[in-house]
Structure 1
């Protein structure tokens, strides 16, 4: 990874709410989704992620919320196949295989010790 160090535990705050964004865990999950559902190698997934904006560390809570407004599956397919990938018949979500996907995601988080991607908290 071009001398880039991805980190977890990035804190961002607004007026009443903050979020801890686990960027390393987010990027690892994106890569594993690309491997499983994009059917590419981990090395290829790493290269595709490196060439996407997802690898850039967010600078604000708004940046984190932008990432959180879509499911990770969408971001992974976007990085894997490019813009408008869904018109090629590639699903943009996991609704048709939700139970299998959620079980797989849980197993990946445990296997690779990935943190929850977004942890919101109230500012007092």
Structure 2
């Protein structure tokens, strides 16, 4: 399963519209799995498709904000190594590697993904 596009949330009391670029988040988790764990693209996609990321997508802006509060790197490590991976595998840092942010920006640009995950409109 490939989450398409974006999720749009509208606050009933204020009318504020927030867009979650769900497809970008999904693709970046997969890309992180491939880059930082050495899994194949097919394995990374299957792992992500079976996870809460796809099986339980955010249903409101708070859920999307909680999901994007952590870097996609974190969620990739959780999917591959489990919760508290940094305690189970001390060689795997809970913070993204030094090259993460430059790689992330380059990947987003090269694959024409959304530059920001949550955007108020």
For the aligned pair, the TM-score class normalised by the smaller chain equals: 0.7 to 0.9
How far apart, in 1, do the equivalents of 2:31 and 2:53 lie? 14
**TM-score, normalised relative to structure 1:** 0.82
- Inter-partner Cα distance in structure 2 for 1:71 and 1:120: 19
Q: Name 1:93's counterpart in structure 2.
A: 95
The aligned length equals: 115
Give deviations 1:69-115, integer Å, cap 9, x for gaps.
21211111111211221111211112x51xx2111011110111111
Deviation at 1:117, TM superposition (A): 1.5
For the Cα contact (< 8 Å) 1:18–1:61, is it kept in 2? no
- Does the residue aligned with 2:57 lie in a helix, a strand or coil? coil
Structure with more relative contact order (C-alpha pairs < 8 Å, separation 6 or more): 1
Q: Shift in Å at residue 7 of structure 1? A: 2.0
Partner of 1:102: 101
Q: Does 1:72 align with 2:84?
A: no
Q: Which residue of 2 aligns with 1:46?
A: 45
Aligned-residue Cα RMSD (Å) equals 1.6
Equivalent residue, structure 1, for 2:7? 10
CA distance in 2 between partners of 1:25 and 1:38 (Å): 19
Structure 2 unaligned blocks of 5 or more:
none
Give, in whole Å, the separation in 2 of the partners of 1:30 and 1:74: 9
Q: Deviations over 1:44-75 (max 9, x none)?
A: 11111012101133211121111022121111
